[in-house]
Structure 1
Amino acid sequence: MRLLTKKYNLIPENTIVFFLFSFAIVEVLAELFSFKMILFAFRPLVAALLIYLYWITSKERNEFFFITIFFLLLTSIFIISESQLFLVLGLAGIIVHRILLIVYIVKLNKVKDFIPILIAVIPFIFIFSYLLSISDGIPEGSYYALLVQNILVSILGGVILSNYFMNETTNTPWLSIFGVLSVGLYFTVFIEKLFLNNLPPTYFRPLGMVLYVTSYYAFYKFVIDVERLNTELKANNE
């Protein structure tokens, strides 16, 4: 089911992109100087801007995109708080978000053969499992949550890697860029939390913020590219 409402482009696309990366710079500075209030105010705006950007540029307005990024928005709010309840909700939100990402990418690429994905998942599983097994800094009660995260990120990486080699119809460089940046983001957070947690957070969180914004902008561009390619393919077949 797709949203077929007429577009109301109140703000030009380039302006929204400018705001998106301007907020990213503000977030990096807030991470560097540990301004919690700025983080709380601006970080959810990244997801909100992505939703609006897709709304004004997509001809299909697939609700799957809105749901996926909505969970990203919720998670970006929850993980800022130091409340245990909010951290649990944030963890649950990011798990749901990553599952939706995987399903959405598989759906967009019309994947029918899952054997290449299973093969492509293996190196990611091996790397993250090895890092998890040698870490002495796992927070109490977090092992299984990290294990689930490792599996989901490995599947996401496997889906993107297999698409690069196997799918010529909807192959767009934006998906590969999103894959590299998103896996890099998770790897950065993973290393910081489990191996270098004795270092100040300002060493890694600004980098994480840059990867966060650029990866999801790449995801947005990938979705728009696939929708455009599908439209052109339908037009050629008619």
Structure 2
Amino acid sequence: MQLLTKKYNFIQENTIVCFLFSFAIVEVLAELFSFKMILFAFRPLVAALLIYLYWITSKERNVFFFITTFFLLLTSIFIIPESQFFLMLGLAGIIIHRTLLIVYIIKLNKVKDFIPILIAIIPFIFIFSYLLSISDEIPVGSYYPLMMQNILVSILAGVILSNYFMNESNNTPWLSIFGLLSTALYFTVFIEKCFLSNLPPTYFRPLGMILYVTSYYAFYKFVIDAEKLNADLKANNE
């Protein structure tokens, strides 16, 4: 009976993963051909599927994951309409989402020493600050939100980089993959908005969609691995 349950869960998980990447392909095609209705319908499904995938595979079902991914879902809806009001909502949503993401990763990795994180943040802050300072295509009213995004992405990258070198007991390759893909995603968006805004969005947004789906799938896998590692460590200590 237990074997059948595991087999069913395995099939269900892989079916949802197939749906997830199928939706990603639809989103890439919609970005290429600028089908706004398809974007509005399918983009939120990526976050919704991640929430369901975590619900059926995690033994802990940590509320932090649901809240963090819920703000990702809201942001994915708000950034589709091209209006200033929804853009501001989207910016607020992504700031909350990234803040929760940083706290959640620190919580999962049980970080106690923050000095390595502060050191690891410095190169990312320098790179993004330099790019922001030399850009002459920053949209009106976007300078301070971009500065906030630069700080949050630098902190996120610093947390992940320091974890790779300092936290051997709770290290999973999925966190490093997520860090690499999410930084590449932000870098792609940043370059598009601040340096190459005169080019059609179809040059960057399909790539951004691929990075978006793969990075958050990596984040989901990291959470599952980290929960298992923490459970094993707790069992061994007892």
Give the TM-score of the pair, scaled to structure 1: 0.95
Match in the other structure for 1:75: 75
In the alignment, the residues of structure 2 paired with residue 139 and residue 30 of structure 1 have an alpha-carbon distance, to the nearest angstrom, of 25
Q: Per the alignment, in what secondary structure is the counterpart of residue 59 of structure 1?
A: coil
Amino acid at match of 1:172: T
Match in the other structure for 1:46: 46
Amino acid at match of 2:146: L
Q: Per the alignment, in what secondary structure is the counterpart of residue 52 of structure 1?
A: helix
Give the TM-score of the pair, scaled to structure 2: 0.95
Match in the other structure for 1:237: 237
1:176 partnered with 2:156:
no
Q: Provide, for residues 119-165 of structure 1, a one-character-per-residue CA deviation record: whole Å limited to 9, x for no partner.
A: 00000000000000000001111111100000000000000000000
In the alignment, the residues of structure 2 paired with residue 174 and residue 54 of structure 1 have an alpha-carbon distance, to the nearest angstrom, of 15
Unaligned runs of 5+ in 1: 1-7
Amino acid at match of 2:200: P
Match in the other structure for 2:131: 131
User: What is the aligned length?
Assistant: 231
Match in the other structure for 1:202: 202
Question: What is the root-mean-square deviation in Å for CA atoms of aligned residues?
Answer: 1.3
Match in the other structure for 2:96: 96
Match in the other structure for 1:141: 141
Over the matched positions of the two proteins, sequence identity in percent amounts to: 87
1:159 partnered with 2:159:
yes
Amino acid at match of 2:221: K
In the alignment, the residues of structure 1 paired with residue 166 and residue 233 of structure 2 have an alpha-carbon distance, to the nearest angstrom, of 18
In the alignment, the residues of structure 2 paired with residue 234 and residue 76 of structure 1 have an alpha-carbon distance, to the nearest angstrom, of 36
Match in the other structure for 1:189: 189
Amino acid at match of 1:14: N
Amino acid at match of 1:166: M
Amino acid at match of 1:219: F
In the alignment, the residues of structure 2 paired with residue 160 and residue 187 of structure 1 have an alpha-carbon distance, to the nearest angstrom, of 16
Q: Per the alignment, in what secondary structure is the counterpart of residue 12 of structure 1?
A: helix
In the alignment, the residues of structure 2 paired with residue 87 and residue 42 of structure 1 have an alpha-carbon distance, to the nearest angstrom, of 19
Deviation at 1:232, TM superposition (A): 1.4
Amino acid at match of 1:114: F
